[in-house]
Structure 1
Amino acid sequence: MSVIILAAGIVVFLWGSNVLFQKACIRRETPWPDLGKADEVEYEELIDAYNIKREINESIIISAEDGMKLAGNYYERKKEAPVVLFFHGLWSHSAVDGVAIYRITKEMNWNLLLVTSRAHDESGGTIATLGIRERYDCRDWAEWAADRFGENTPLFLMGISMSGAAVMMSSNLDLPDSVCGIIEDCGYISPMEMITLNAVEKLPRWFPEGIFKIFMEAGTRIYGHFSLYEADAGKALSETNVPILIIHGDKDCIAPVSMAYSLYHRCRSEKELFIVHGADHAGSYRTDPEKYKRTVSKFLKKYAAVYIQKKNMQNGIY
């Protein structure tokens, strides 16, 4: 009898951990938002997203450190201008999430690379790792850009939601010197903390949070071959020298605003915090577009100027 009970327990454990892994990490085809259901502001953003997708651009394909094919779309406005590398959120699309930075960089006459994350759209892979492997993809894209544009071109990494976490997690990975700033919008501290916060209220009251974490971690280890504890954005920020801009809505129910304050206090580099009142998850730009644009533009211009001045001094140009 004890053997039967043990075997049944193992079966339930493997089944449960697989269900959680599938729900959180397995690639899915995500339709674009429905124009018919959008309000006026959302409608204008979605029209821009469709136009971004159709605009003439350069398709870029690189190989990640683990051999995964990664895709991106490069929009050049001015040769030798600074470049922003933008990374979209989980189960979203680069053109949809990238509307804000597309508009900002176009107005600044800067260049933009919209990256498609692994397990999304044109990029390869069947598993999204919630920032764990994506942090290395951020570094790989930064190294590609540094090689493509040269050491004199300022580079910035920007990510939203999952990719907000990923760009922060990449900040201590020995990025190219030309990466002179990182912007994160509504990123979380760690995948496990984010998943747990969003799952607890949906779990039966009798189901212990600790057991849920064990099932979740087992699923990613057994079926995805990665650990949700491998990376922590707060730890990365405590070890980085790259300037950071943290953007967060104070009504965010997916990654609570307390995470933004925690990340800001743990960051050891130059840092800025922009809290958007009334904004929910990934809604900061839509809630206050003018202040969002001013804050992001100011950060980009400030640290691009700092980097250019440093390079001029190194090259003997005063």
Structure 2
Amino acid sequence: MKRILKWTGVTAFFFVIFTIILDLALGYLLFNFAFGKTGLASLYNENVGTPDTEWFSDNNTQILHEKADDGTNLVARYVPSEKPSNKTMIVVHGYGSNSEEMEAFIKIFHADGYNVLAPDNQSFGGSGGKYIGYGVKDATNLEKWARVMNSDHPGGELGLFGTSMGASAVMYSLPKMPSNVKFAIEDSGYASVEGELGGQLKRLFNIPSFPLVPTVNLYVKTLAKYNMNDGNTKKTLKHNQIPLFIIHGDADKFVPVKNAYENYRNDAGPKQIWIIKGAGHIESRSQDPDTYTQKVTDFAQQYFK
């Protein structure tokens, strides 16, 4: 009997060790797949349209350079308004995209008379970085770009707009933003990085989020140098007073519409929500361009002085 118990204990011990090793191995694979620059991001492209590169050159687009806190080189496109303006929109792209591919959204605000700054998030476009910031690192970089705009345009006003991961970056950045940020618009943003990653695990591989997601976060903290748990609108919108417009398609499978309602509940400030029937991920504008343009420009005009 003692021998049986002994072997049972040894078997259990090695099973636990094997499980831990398997979890660490799978966690590392998932980390590189989802957070690595050459992983899923190199394969995925958001449905935001094909950019017209001539439009940027025809509108005197400037390429700006900045440094992230960790020394990473950051790049942004700056499109000045046709007539002098002290109002600037910061337009932020999502996962697998870049600033140039945000042309359709940039045009909306530029046509309304605003300067537009469109950063390349870390690891995308012209910006450096080995690992994707999932909105967390990007939020810090957005605050830096806002300071750059304030330095270049003293006394000006800023508005924020983002899609998908860029929308989440906008919401995560709000506690850091200077007081001249007058409003924010988020289209298809997720409430938390942990929730989005867990949801994709379930959708793509039918794998539960525990224990893999916490393990992935160990690699995020160690290698990417941030904590993905900081990406959560429960934290960043809890005391927010910057007006927020939430836009989401109810047929979004990549970032389910429940995220929009969660963001709405989490936000403490003035807010508005628009759910578009039948629209998938970042498809609200393409489904009804005129209504979309009218709603976002009306919101901007409401809060820009």
1:132 aligns with 2:139: no
Query: Any unmatched runs of 5+ in structure 2?
Result: 1-9
The aligned counterpart of 1:303 is 303
Q: Deviation at 1:31?
A: 7.9
Query: Any unmatched runs of 5+ in structure 1?
Result: 306-318
1:94 aligns with 2:96: no
User: Quick one: which amino acid aligns to residue 85 of structure 1?
Assistant: I
Bigger mean CA deviation after superposition, 212-221 or 122-131: 212-221
1:1-318 aligned within 5 A: 8-28=18-38, 30=42, 45-46=49-50, 48-55=51-58, 56-77=60-81, 78-96=83-101, 98-151=102-155, 153-173=156-176, 175-204=177-206, 208-305=208-305
Residues in 2 aligned to 1:131 and 1:27: alpha-carbon distance in whole angstroms? 14
User: Quick one: which amino acid aligns to residue 197 of structure 1?
Assistant: G
Residues in 1 aligned to 2:220 and 2:299: alpha-carbon distance in whole angstroms? 36
Residues in 2 aligned to 1:276 and 1:67: alpha-carbon distance in whole angstroms? 40
User: Quick one: which amino acid aligns to residue 169 of structure 1?
Assistant: Y
Bigger mean CA deviation after superposition, 54-63 or 279-288: 54-63
The aligned counterpart of 1:308 is none
Deviations 1:282-303 (A, max 9, x none): 1111011111100110011110
The aligned counterpart of 1:312 is none
Residues in 1 aligned to 2:222 and 2:114: alpha-carbon distance in whole angstroms? 43
Q: Deviation at 1:9?
A: 4.3
Q: How has the CA–CA distance of structure 1 residues 215 and 57 changed in structure 2, closer, same or farther, with 3 Å as cutoff?
A: same
Residues in 1 aligned to 2:136 and 2:110: alpha-carbon distance in whole angstroms? 31
Deviations 1:45-86 (A, max 9, x none): 42x433345443111001123322210011112323411011
User: Quick one: which amino acid aligns to residue 195 of structure 2?
Assistant: E
Contact 2:135 2:166 in 1 (8 A): yes
Partner-residue secondary structure (3-state), 1:209 = coil
Q: Deviation at 1:123?
A: 0.7
Q: How has the CA–CA distance of structure 1 residues 216 and 291 changed in structure 2, closer, same or farther, with 3 Å as cutoff?
A: same
User: Quick one: which amino acid aligns to residue 181 of structure 2?
Assistant: V
Q: How has the CA–CA distance of structure 1 residues 236 and 32 changed in structure 2, closer, same or farther, with 3 Å as cutoff?
A: closer
Residues in 1 aligned to 2:15 and 2:201: alpha-carbon distance in whole angstroms? 28
Residues in 2 aligned to 1:10 and 1:85: alpha-carbon distance in whole angstroms? 44
Residues in 2 aligned to 1:182 and 1:9: alpha-carbon distance in whole angstroms? 44
Residues in 2 aligned to 1:57 and 1:92: alpha-carbon distance in whole angstroms? 19
After TM superposition, which residue ranges in structure 1, 4 or more long, deviate above 6 angstroms? 1-4
Quick one: percent identity of the two aligned structures? 24
The aligned counterpart of 1:313 is none
Q: How has the CA–CA distance of structure 1 residues 208 and 245 changed in structure 2, closer, same or farther, with 3 Å as cutoff?
A: closer
Residues in 2 aligned to 1:149 and 1:31: alpha-carbon distance in whole angstroms? 38
User: Quick one: which amino acid aligns to residue 200 of structure 1?
Assistant: K
Q: Deviation at 1:262?
A: 1.9
Residues in 2 aligned to 1:24 and 1:251: alpha-carbon distance in whole angstroms? 23
Contact 2:23 2:211 in 1 (8 A): no
Q: Deviation at 1:200?
A: 1.0
Partner-residue secondary structure (3-state), 1:263 = helix
Question: Between Structure 1 and Structure 2, how many residues are aligned?
Answer: 290
The aligned counterpart of 2:3 is none
